[in-house]
Amino acid sequence: MFAMTRKTILALAALAAVLVLLAGCGGGSNGSGSNGGANSANEGAAANTPEVTPVFKIGGIPDQDVAVLTRRFGGVADYLSEQTGLTVEYVPTQDYAALVTAFQRGDIQLAWFGGLTGVQARNMTPGSEAIAMRPEDGEFHSVFIAQADLDVNSLSDLAGLSFAFGSESSTSGHLMPRHFLMQAGIDPEQDFDGTPNYTGSHDKTWQLVESGAYQAGALNAVVWKSRVEEGSIDLSKVKVVETTPAYFDYNWTINDVDAAYGDGTKEAVAAALLGMNMTEHAELLEPFQTDQFVETNNGNYAEIEEVAKQLGIIK
């Protein structure tokens, strides 16, 4: 053994004191150690982290060419983001039924529906509401068309021809044309040359009649007018036979969104849509073939629902 000096003894005592202090800071059964402190810090940070608002998704029935749909709904998504502060995204859907299902599941918060799909979606989705439409949607029409060289001048003349509707779920491309055909005494399942075809969109309908694939068809009057004005349709090959009486059709329908996105979200989205005007938003309105949106409500589509029930499309 060696004899320790006073200096050595004091140094060892100081070292022991430091070790005791470090052990006290290092943890213990009271949860104040390093793990407990880290957990407390993490819990505090989590408590202070704001809740993330989900993406607000919009959609529209795929009734026209993809390029038109992307320009139409992509522009509205960007506009709603600016006006509401939400992150808004356009989500394309494969067909009319897919959009109705996505809306019912809550995967789509705001949708541009036709009259029939809007009724179907709202019937399946409690709390959903039709909030806006174009002025012309309060007095909408379908047109019956035929190959220009055929001696067809009225609905009764369509009997015996091959015929094309649009989508089976389309108000203006199927439901109301079928309704008016039956009023004229034509049963589409028995009186055409073969069963009618369903093209899936208004643009495909006029294109198939123009090409000679079908002798006649029916489509949205706004789409027809727009394509004529832009020179897309060869009027030497296809003509209008008759225009239907008026009915309510397209509309913006919103889901019950306030719980997920905050109180007043529905009102803010509606105000943004109704606030569009040609002075500031012409590039957004032009793809919809309109100059503004106006208010609408669920009750405006009661006739559409009744016709759909009469034809067995809605039970």
Per-residue pLDDT tens for 279-289? 999 999 999 99
Question: What residue ranges of the chain have pLDDT lower than 70?
Answer: 1-51
Residue 87's pLDDT is what?
97
Task: Specify the pLDDT at position 315.
Answer: 82
118-153: b (≥16 Cβ within 10 Å) or e: bbbbbeebeebbbbbbbebbeebbbbbbbbeeeebe
Has residue 230 been placed in a domain?
A: yes
Where residue 201 falls (left for φ over 0; alpha for ψ -120 to 50; beta otherwise) is beta
Tens-digit pLDDT profile for residues 181-207: 999 999 999 999 999 999 999 999 999
> Is 89 domain-assigned?
yes
Check residue 51 and give its pLDDT: 67
Structural domain harbouring 112: 56-138+248-310
Tell whether pTM > 0.85: no
Residues 60 and 125 in one domain: yes
Element containing residue 132 per DSSP (H, E): strand 129-133
239 and 274 both lie in a single domain: no
233 and 145 share one domain: yes
pLDDT of residue 63: 86
Are residue 61 and residue 87 in the same domain, yes or no?
yes
Segments of 159-220 assigned E as strands: 163-165, 197-198, 216-220
Q: At what angle do helices 66-84 and 278-285 cross, to 10 degrees?
A: 140
- Determine the 3-state secondary structure of 147 from DSSP: strand
The domain boundary, picked from 219, 243, 267, lies at: 243
For residue 177, the domain's CATH number is: 3.40.190.10
Is the same domain home to 193 and 268? no
| Number of domains into which the chain is organized | 2
Is residue 133 included in any domain, yes or no? yes
Give residue 189's Cα distance to chain centre: 32
Q: What pLDDT score does 56 carry? A: 98
117, exposed or middle or buried, with CB in 10 Å at 0-12, 13-18, 19+? buried
Among 45, 307, 6, 13, CA closest to 172: 307
**168 with 231, same domain?**
yes
Q: Is 15 contained in some domain? A: no
- Region of residue 43 (left: phi > 0; alpha: psi -120 to 50; beta: else): alpha
Q: Let me know whether 166 and 300 are in one domain.
A: no
Determine the length of the chain: 315
**252 and 134 inside one domain:** yes
Q: Which two tokens stand for residue 40?
A: 């407390």
Q: Which tens digit of pLDDT belongs to each residue from 247-283?
A: 999 999 999 999 999 999 999 999 999 999 999 999 9
Nearest residue to 254 (alpha-carbon basis) of 55, 57, 53:
57
Non-local (6+) Cβ contacts of 188 within 8 A are: 163, 165, 178, 181, 182, 195, 196
Residues 222-243: tens digit of each pLDDT: 999 999 999 999 999 999 999 9
Residues 281, 207, single domain; the answer is: no
